[in-house]
Amino acid sequence: MSLLFVGTALLLSSYTRSRLPRYLVTYFGAFDGVPDNPTKSLCTASGPASLRARLTHIRASFRFAELPVSSSGVRAAMSLLHPPPPPSILPRPPPRPLLVVHLGVDGSQRSASDARFKLERRAYNELDFRVPDNDGAQPRKTPVDETLGTDLGEWLGSTLPLDAACTELRARWGQRVDVSDDAGRFVCNYTLFSTLRRAQLEGGGERACFVHVPEFGMIGEGEQGEFLADFFRTIDALLKAES
């Protein structure tokens, strides 16, 4: 085998990997009232049953990252994880598709019989923390982005096909999956709103959503891992069908 052949093969392999859709998956750790956040366990577990292992067959580049449970921490972390594009006077090639999926726990769910996976499609321009975040901040009735004004009812919506995804997922998971229009007013809502606002300002085709999961006492870790893998397979197929 010639060195030229080997070099060409490596170059093509590198190019193919560079053109894969990029998926950024974030999760949270502990916060007040939730000492063990299931999203951290799901995203950091190792072994063949882990979420990472379940996603290896999807032709996409996955990156996992933990976000601090604080508004200022999320802002700083996301600016490092996904910095804005550099200014350029030259035309840039279209960016690779980027899907941002934020994962968080819905601590308001109280009954295993009513436990749901919630696909959040809206985020509101409102900070109204029922408890302090991990930095001790507890804003009440204030906008996330003051440049949009003081209307706390203003919201931004995900452009992902979440209704279609929910329909497909319900065929396998029944009523345990819903599309939700209310991600609360804590750090989860702040995170989704900030990501959607960034996509709105920068353009480039970035898309995002938030998935709330119940605590493991309501739906076990194995089932939750299976669901999230199914969610990513479903979304990935729907997005590729769009192109």
Block residue for tokens 């996603």: 55
Count Cβ atoms within 10 A of the Cβ of residue 33 and give its class: 0-12 exposed, 13-18 middle, 19 or more buried: exposed
d(CA 183, CA 95): 29
Which among 43, 102, 126, 212 is annotated as catalytic?
Answer: 212
The secondary structure of 73-94, three-state, reads HHHHHHHHHCCCCCCCCCCCCC
Which among 43, 166, 188, 209 is annotated as catalytic?
Answer: 188
Q: What is the DSSP string of 189-224?
A: HHHHHHHHHHHHHH-TT-EEEEEEE--TTTS-HHHH
Catalytic residue check, 102: no
Classify residue 144 by its DSSP letter.
Answer: S
According to DSSP, the residues that pair with 209 across neighbouring strands are: 101
Which among 82, 120, 168, 215 is annotated as catalytic?
Answer: 120
Catalytic residue check, 43: no
Catalytic residue check, 212: yes
Catalytic residue numbers?
120, 188, 212
